[in-house]
Amino acid sequence: MKALQNFVDQFGLGISKEKLVNKAYYAMEALGYNVCILNEKYLVINGINYQFIKSRKEARWIVKAF
């Protein structure tokens, strides 16, 4: 999801995964998506599960569906 990845790209690697998930939750909810948090580490948006991976190689957070 491009909207989610674009939002996450605003943050550096210093933020914890839990805080990033929380901020992404409110941002996606404000855009009108059906969102919920799963185990404080994952987002479920419109029925699709997303995980956040810290990539030191790319120096950013990567969002992947699983």
Taking only the tens place, the pLDDT of each residue in 32-61 is: 999 999 999 999 999 999 999 999 999 999
Give Dmax over CA atoms of the chain in angstroms: 32
Strand-pair partners of 49: 44
Residue 5 CB coordination number (10 Å): 15
- The pLDDT score that the predictor gives to residue 1 is 84
Looking at the whole model, is its pTM more than 0.85? yes
Helix (H) or strand (E) holding 35: strand 35-38
The three-point CA angle 18-11-6 to 5° equals: 100
